[in-house]
Structure 1
């Protein structure tokens, strides 16, 4: 039975080393909770909603308050760890301050965990979760036994019940390869929001892309560049031996590499579709065939597990990192061959039968930046090719944050060129002020889309959108639901409304 409670009296007696986690149900936070407990720390926590993650944690023996936060922290609590979504005015944050309990962000706590391990940090505006997941699969296949924290559910990282998670506990020492007996590998995403990745302690890192995002925090693209440069400086000095010292693998044409790497001492290798890159990628979209060369020499050929140029680049980045960490190349290719994807990243939900016959294929994707939207829609059109049989590409896109939508409104309007129909729910309100909320609306995006000739509409609530999707979609269409908020519910609801099969005549 999951241990879920709303009463602080149910918390178990704590050891001298104990922490309480606010937002424990998130992918990263739940993985960190498991890692800390493996190190002998007593961990309890709270989350605003019950979820498969909180249920799984409860089944593993964690004590969690779900729903309204408990009235107070446990009697013995040495630290509080808060997710990035938790406000400083949260009641438990205020109580921790009153009691003098140290408060750490998720990134600060993850950085402390990295200090005693061989940290590998996956950074970049796009592709962090997919690259991290692919890298973890390759290292597992190569018997390097990594500890992994991914911000998405991964079928290749199951819990004891076989459910996909974003966590794996690995070895205390690297068991094989050129880094054998070095501290165990800790693979994690390095999120740039609010400069949180500056808290990490990586030995090896990558930066796949650098674009304008989180401008509510940074204010300008120059500040974003500065933040990535400071992140790169965290790496130790490099050596001629890639198994020693710091290494940065950075996008040749996608990450402003000259600005970002200026003044850093780590060993640097570039990666990209440019033949001049150290790791040069050739990709054929129709077959998804990838050919990878390293400094002019053949490195590997494989079929990319997911469609799209961006997926090919993510897989190549994971390959280069795994190779740098000592994985044999045959194992990396085997891992990619059996990779089953991750939750909400070009995730195929299924084929939905339509009342008049035929089906609509449904995808779910986390993309919420204009570049991600454009890359995902282009990849789906290239891979599924609905136009070849009279179908259309229908997109339900929920903008994430009013500030992001306002700052990047023109870029968003230009990102939907591959879509035939776009339905826009209300903007997902998170991390912004009430004043910001009134500066832009979903209707503004729809107006921009219509001015570019895109068939677009603004609808809310989700039930109304499901009804509209039912009315709009026809057999042969491709439906993709996109956004970082709860918009995934629309894809699931549409699938659940599938018409019942006609009775079989006897």
Structure 2
């Protein structure tokens, strides 16, 4: 367990300034702090979709970074993991001696007052976290939750509940999840990613093991029984560990898995005994695994089986996850956050299963030069069954003058071409939109993929092909 090195903090009446407030997690945390009675302000380097909602709550938001934005009465400054030491507001806070903590530290602090539920993994965290929150809400438990994605069905990316649980997405970047001491939770999978932070894959697996070790001894950790590294990490846990599998031999097992129009129904077994049936309305085989993990976590926390089945069966997903943006003139446009090779493959497969198509287009915007460099060959091999892949410039959210940019979109397209993929490098998003709009035809499926601002291409295509749909 963590040894507390910081004194407790009373939020009611305190002024909290949040640097990088535009991220889903940070903006969600701002909502919770405001609900707890804090006076909240914040800044971000870019406009973001939720700024209006924050302002409506009385939160003062600046759309640039400047030391003058730091209120003189600020008692606490919270920064996102992407904020560099050179940020002028952060520097001003340190010069004043204002207490500073990272976003994950804040969540860890809030979790101390509740039974923590933390969902970790390279992929599927946002969906599964929101799924667990929806199941708990269906059961009437009214949890507090923080999800790193838009989740309108559960009241947004974050909400303060009056129930005993706090459900959070536990991110491995910057070892953020080591700020949490959960009672219940999951490790969905462990794959190579964030190697700019960890350098070696073994160090990443070790971090997941350290996360597993933080679970309360009387708690429950659920992990994939079909992911060797997730199993390895779970061995460090001091609590009960249960594994989930699809047509396997885990404690929790999905059997009789069947698909219709890309949506799945299956039977959930525990220790070989049938518990209940689930029918999902969100597409993709990968969501069978997410749902199984959510069911196991909810069951461990005492949620009744009826609420688990009803919650999973009514869950509508989160923003930018296989989101149908529009369909017009015979062209279907789907947007997704996929930014890792495994996510890309799963998303393409799920979209092709869910939507009729003649040809499949993918617009993939790489996210971070470091990830592109470390996973270059894996990315190049991720587009099987796609008719044309259009790749704009890398979205470099954390880049600075030291960023290594020798491997970018042009090199990725070259590697894709060597593997027989019909790839095209088009630098700007505007030019990408023009290219796809000029060449997509009736019956085509267009996927926009990436963790950056590639959704702008989806917006542009919706305006071109389905002007009646609000972009």
Deviations 1:274-298 (A, max 9, x none): 5210001132233511221111111
Q: How far has the Cα of 1:71 moved from its partner?
A: 1.4
Equivalent position to 1:119, from 111, 116, 120 = 116
Output the CA distance in 2 between the equivalents of 1:488 and 1:409: 22
Gaps of 5+ in 1: 1-13, 159-164, 175-183, 238-244, 354-358, 502-506
Output the CA distance in 2 between the equivalents of 1:263 and 1:340: 34
Output the CA distance in 2 between the equivalents of 1:350 and 1:457: 24
TM-score (norm 1): 0.86
Equivalent position to 2:343, from 372, 381, 384 = 372
Q: How far has the Cα of 1:123 moved from its partner?
A: 0.2
Task: Kindly report structure 1 stretches of 4+ aligned residues shifted beyond 4 Å.
Answer: none
Matched, 1:487 2:463: no
Cα pair 1:48 1:69 within 8 Å, conserved: no
| SS of the residue 2:86 aligns to | coil
Output the CA distance in 1 between the equivalents of 2:292 and 2:347: 18
Output the CA distance in 2 between the equivalents of 1:395 and 1:247: 39
Deviations 1:57-83 (A, max 9, x none): 111112222335351521212111001
Equivalent position to 1:284, from 242, 248, 258 = 258
Deviations 1:180-234 (A, max 9, x none): xxxx111110000011110112111100000010001101110111000000000
Structure 2 counterpart of 1:240: none
Cα pair 2:221 2:239 within 8 Å, conserved: yes
TM-score (norm 2): 0.93
Structure 2 counterpart of 1:137: 134
Change beyond 3 A, Cα 1:269–1:85: same
Structure 1 counterpart of 2:319: 343
Deviations 1:78-115 (A, max 9, x none): 11100112111100110111111121000011101101
Structure 2 counterpart of 1:223: 203
The answer to which of 15-24 and 463-472 deviates more is: 15-24
Output the CA distance in 2 between the equivalents of 1:486 and 1:24: 17
Q: How far has the Cα of 1:487 moved from its partner?
A: 0.3
**Is the radius of gyration larger for structure 1 or structure 2?**
1
Matched, 1:352 2:328: yes
Structure 1 counterpart of 2:386: 419
Q: How far has the Cα of 1:336 moved from its partner?
A: 2.6
Matched, 1:296 2:296: no
Matched, 1:99 2:109: no
Q: CA RMSD in A?
A: 1.8
Deviations 1:233-279 (A, max 9, x none): 00111xxxxxxx21100010125244212342111000111521000
Alignment of 1:376-415 (within 5 A): 376-386=347-357, 391-415=358-382
**When the two structures are aligned, how many residues end up with a matched partner?**
455
Gaps of 5+ in 2: 1-10
| SS of the residue 1:153 aligns to | coil
Cα pair 2:65 2:88 within 8 Å, conserved: no
Change beyond 3 A, Cα 1:62–1:262: same
Change beyond 3 A, Cα 1:185–1:297: same
Q: How far has the Cα of 1:433 moved from its partner?
A: 4.5
Structure 2 counterpart of 1:363: 334
Change beyond 3 A, Cα 1:115–1:330: same
Matched, 1:208 2:205: no
Cα pair 2:220 2:297 within 8 Å, conserved: no
Output the CA distance in 1 between the equivalents of 2:83 and 2:221: 31
Structure 2 counterpart of 1:268: 241
The answer to which of 476-485 and 315-324 deviates more is: 315-324
Change beyond 3 A, Cα 1:468–1:322: same
| SS of the residue 1:350 aligns to | strand
Cα pair 2:13 2:37 within 8 Å, conserved: no
